[in-house]
């Protein structure tokens, strides 16, 4: 059915035209006024039903959630809440929504309740705003990389490489689980499986992206990623989307510059293109925070935070400097930290939060971590103790980006494999890259959902993805 998106009918320029709209009823007030939403904008269009032209029977079926289309003239509104409205002449009800059963009402629901109604939560203002912004961020990611000379690479979702050490993996198999073929010594006979070897869902496209970068120069991946960790937190998913740029002839500083420029670009894109949705989420956050104690509220509003990030440089410190700051901090001296702070140990959430939310109050890039707490492929620094790693931490979410300059020297990488107990035959292709035209290169991984949390102000990662996959949860 040919029809006009509501987003185009809200300002005065089309007043006087005959229009057709389709959408879902948010409320039907006073037996006369329909608030209609079609997903093209967070705002509703008001339809005015002349009671004399529409029977009681028709009006009775106009309930919250029903799908309708309407034809009529767009006129200047007589009421105060909107500039335009539709004087309806024809009305069609496509699908009723039984008010006794339809669970979504024109009032506040908890995020937990809506999470159980995953098929209907798109109909709410909050989630439609989140998913419009999510789309915009997807577009902004591709736009940024395309405009900066990067090529998108589709790295495999099913992978035979298992030495990345990035986390627990989901096994992929076509073997009959009720009758698994065994070898003579009682182990699973993987030779009979689909790929003739163990296969898993990818935990990262990085190693493959490196191969592409060392030919195409600048590449990025943007795809689904799977971690079979039993993580029950507001910032972990079993299935999430990750963005992984990889750049040849780049060092750790180039990498930081790229990450910061990228973050500022996509945040600015949201501010410039999704003002209505952000305004709504900004207001929602203020309302939600009214019930919280002062010290748990954000000092800046959502939109103020985004503007701040778009306009200010990130703080850059080394791991060693971070340890010094922590050891000289008030909470350390008053023994408020639960975990010890000393050079060589990994930073805990409480330490990261102090640095980002209390000390610097802005995104922080921490570099040059001890080699022992980072992955085997990260480039060893000249001090022999640290590697050229970088994590970007943002207020409220924590780690949003993790990256590094990669070890390009074959002999050092081979030593690292030994140290980390990674058999060379598992990563021969990755090592080969260092044999033939090796060069320094760097990249990072950015959790897309964590970016969406940051941009929308949503506090649970399950509420920024349409169908969250978490332990014991895959209903839809």
Partner RNA sequence: UCCCCUGUAGCUCAGUUGGUUAGAGCAUCUGACUGUUAAUCAGAGGGUCGUUGGUUCAAGUCCAACCGGGGGAGCCA
Name the minimum Å distance from CB 28 to RNA.
8
Cα–Cα distance for residue pair 76/12, rounded to 1 Å: 7
Name the minimum Å distance from CB 249 to RNA.
23
Instruction: Evaluate whether 468 touches 237 at the Cβ level (below 8 Å).
Output: yes
Contacts to RNA by CB under 7 A: 27, 29-33, 35, 46, 48, 51, 63-64, 77-82, 85, 99-100, 103, 105-110, 112-113, 115, 166-167, 204, 227, 229-238, 240, 242, 339, 346, 348-350, 353, 398-402, 445-447, 449-450, 459-462, 471-473
Compare residues 193 and 427 and give the one whose CB is closer to RNA. 427
Compare residues 199 and 392 and give the one whose CB is closer to RNA. 392
Encoding tokens for residue 229?
């960790």
Compare residues 281 and 401 and give the one whose CB is closer to RNA. 401
Compare residues 61 and 175 and give the one whose CB is closer to RNA. 61
Name the minimum Å distance from CB 150 to RNA.
18
Task: Report residue 366: phi and psi, to 5°.
Answer: -105, 130
What would you measure as the largest C-alpha separation in the chain, in angstroms? Answer: 86
Compare residues 32 and 152 and give the one whose CB is closer to RNA. 32
Name the minimum Å distance from CB 229 to RNA.
4
Name the minimum Å distance from CB 403 to RNA.
8
Compare residues 8 and 229 and give the one whose CB is closer to RNA. 229
Name the minimum Å distance from CB 228 to RNA.
10
Compare residues 193 and 236 and give the one whose CB is closer to RNA. 236
Compare residues 75 and 175 and give the one whose CB is closer to RNA. 75
Compare residues 238 and 366 and give the one whose CB is closer to RNA. 238
Start-to-end CA distance of the chain, whole Å, equals 29
Name the minimum Å distance from CB 384 to RNA.
22
Compare residues 371 and 401 and give the one whose CB is closer to RNA. 401
Cα–Cα distance for residue pair 390/318, rounded to 1 Å: 9
Name the minimum Å distance from CB 206 to RNA.
8
Name the minimum Å distance from CB 166 to RNA.
5
Name the minimum Å distance from CB 341 to RNA.
12
- 429 CB-contact burial (10 Å; exposed 0-12 / middle 13-18 / buried 19+): exposed
Cα–Cα distance for residue pair 83/12, rounded to 1 Å: 7
Compare residues 231 and 273 and give the one whose CB is closer to RNA. 231
Compare residues 63 and 69 and give the one whose CB is closer to RNA. 63
Cα–Cα distance for residue pair 455/136, rounded to 1 Å: 11
Name the minimum Å distance from CB 460 to RNA.
5
Name the minimum Å distance from CB 396 to RNA.
9
């Amino acid at each position: 059915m040919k029809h006009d998106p509501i987003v185009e009918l809200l300002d005065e320029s089309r007043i006087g035209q005959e229009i057709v709209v389709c959408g879902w009823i948010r409320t039907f007030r006073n037996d006369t006024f329909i608030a209609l939403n079609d997903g093209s904008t967070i705002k509703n269009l008001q339809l005015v039903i002349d009671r004399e032209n529409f029977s009681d029977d028709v009006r009775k079926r106009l309930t919250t959630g029903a799908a309708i289309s309407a034809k009529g003239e767009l006129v200047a509104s007589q009421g105060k809440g909107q500039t335009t409205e539709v004087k309806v002449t024809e009305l069609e009800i496509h699908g009723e929504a039984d008010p006794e059963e339809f669970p979504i009402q024109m009032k506040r629901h908890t995020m937990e309740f809506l999470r159980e109604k995953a098929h209907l939560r798109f109909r709410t203002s909050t989630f439609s705003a989140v998913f419009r912004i999510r789309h915009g961020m997807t577009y902004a990611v591709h736009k940024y990389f395309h405009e900066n000379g990067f090529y998108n690479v589709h790295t495999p979702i099913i992978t035979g490489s298992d030495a990345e050490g990035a986390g627990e993996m989901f096994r992929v198999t076509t073997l009959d689980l009720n009758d698994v073929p065994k070898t003579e010594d009682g182990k699973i006979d993987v030779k009979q499986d689909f790929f003739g070897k163990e296969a898993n869902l990818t935990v990262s496209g990085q190693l493959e992206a490196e191969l592409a970068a060392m030919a195409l120069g600048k590449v990025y991946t943007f795809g689904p990623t799977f971690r079979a960790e039993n993580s029950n937190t507001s910032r972990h998913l079993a299935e999430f989307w990750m963005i992984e740029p990889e750049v040849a002839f780049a060092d750790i500083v180039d990498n930081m510059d790229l990450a910061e420029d990228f973050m500022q670009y996509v945040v600015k894109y949201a501010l410039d293109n999704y003002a209505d949705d952000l305004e709504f989420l900004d207001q929602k956050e203020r309302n939600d925070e009214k019930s919280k104690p002062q010290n748990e509220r954000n000092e800046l509003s959502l939109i103020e935070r985004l503007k701040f990030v778009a306009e200010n440089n990130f703080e850059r410190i080394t791991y060693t400097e971070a340890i010094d700051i922590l050891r000289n901090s008030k909470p350390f001296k008053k023994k408020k930290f639960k975990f010890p702070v000393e050079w060589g140990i990994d930073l805990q959430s409480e330490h990261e939060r102090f640095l980002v939310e209390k000390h610097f109050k802005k995104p922080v890039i921490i570099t040059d971590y001890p080699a022992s707490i980072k992955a085997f492929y990260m480039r060893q620094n000249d001090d022999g103790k640290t590697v050229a790693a970088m994590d970007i931490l943002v207020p409220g979410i924590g780690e949003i980006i993790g990256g590094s300059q990669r070890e390009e020297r074959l002999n050092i990488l081979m030593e690292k494999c030994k140290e980390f107990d990674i058999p060379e035959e598992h990563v021969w292709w990755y090592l080969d890259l260092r044999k033939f035209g090796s060069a320094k290169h760097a990249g990072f991984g950015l959790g897309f959902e964590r970016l969406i949390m940051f941009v929308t102000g949503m506090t649970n990662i399950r509420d920024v993805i349409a169908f969250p996959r978490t332990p014991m949860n895959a209903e839809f």
